[in-house]
Structure 1
Amino acid sequence: MVRILLAEDDKATRDVIARALEADGHSVTQTLDGQEALDRLAAAPGGIDLLISDVEMPGLDGVTLAERALAAEPRLKVLLISGFSGGLERAERLKGPAVRSVSKPFTLDALRSEVRALLG
């Protein structure tokens, strides 16, 4: 079972993503923002396999969250999601085999495909 940490400030989007990934057999922990996600990561070192984060969130944004999370947990995989092209442009500096991105709106099939690609 893959352990996923989901940081998304929009409740409806967060719920849909979580339900879809849980239906696929993953364990999903939901957080409302980047700081809460970072706190969860710190509380469970090595306990998360995949971070899925919205790029644009109040407070600690998804790109900064991903940078800090990868610094603390280099084996972590990251999927960034954004409804703004500028948000994903900012995420380009994180590109690598462990980091992928998807633009909103996306289909659940597209999200699942990105998750599978990251997890191998």
Structure 2
Amino acid sequence: MARILVAEDDDNVRSFVVRALQMSGHEVLEASDGGLALEIAQEHDGHFDLLVSDIKMPVMDGIALSLTVGARWPELTIVLMTGFADQRERAHGLDALIYDVINKPFSLAQLIEKIDDALAGRPAEIIPLARSAL
């Protein structure tokens, strides 16, 4: 199966995601913030099939992590997670860099489906972003 790096500052969400991916047969390394995730990626020279990262985190957020990882290892697939609509809009400008954004809360089935699609290279479902009124 795949080798996946998970960056999430919420212990409960990180534990849920890591357990779900491990139960699906994946090898998973985890970090509690983007800075630690970048250190792990560097220690392993980017040898991951997938990076799954929360957008809003201390130290280094998921956007900065994606920009750094994507520049260094462009073949690494990136999936972001967020519970905030404004954070999803921030990720919209990274279309060429990230596979997709998963909105929290998500179910186990939704997570596994999105990860399977990302690993298989299937096109992400396009969900239009809400446009703020001017």
Task: With the length of structure 1 as denominator, give the TM-score of the two structures.
Answer: 0.95
Aligned length: 120
Partner of 2:52: 52
Unmatched tracts of structure 2, length 5 or more: 121-134
CA RMSD of aligned residues (A): 1.2
Verify the 8 A CA contact 1:98 1:118 in the aligned structure 2. no
d(CA) in 1 for partners of 2:35, 2:97: 24
Identity, % of aligned positions: 38
Q: CA deviation at 1:59?
A: 1.6
**Structure 1 residue ranges, 4+ long, deviating more than 3 angstroms after superposition:** none
Task: With the length of structure 2 as denominator, give the TM-score of the two structures.
Answer: 0.86
Partner of 1:115: 115
Partner of 2:127: none
Unmatched tracts of structure 1, length 5 or more: none
Verify the 8 A CA contact 1:76 1:98 in the aligned structure 2. no
Partner of 1:12: 12
Verify: 1:72 aligned to 2:65, yes or no: no
Partner of 2:34: 34
Partner of 2:83: 83
Partner of 1:101: 101
Q: CA deviation at 1:31?
A: 0.3
Verify the 8 A CA contact 1:82 1:104 in the aligned structure 2. yes
Q: Which has the higher helix share?
A: 1
| Per-residue CA distance 1:89-108 (angstroms, 9 max, x = gap) | 10111114852111101111
Verify the 8 A CA contact 1:4 1:50 in the aligned structure 2. yes
Q: CA deviation at 1:8?
A: 0.3
- Secondary structure (helix, strand or coil) at the match of 1:75 reads coil
- Secondary structure (helix, strand or coil) at the match of 1:74 reads coil
Highest CA radius of gyration, 1 or 2?
2
d(CA) in 1 for partners of 2:97, 2:32: 26
Verify: 1:21 aligned to 2:21, yes or no: yes
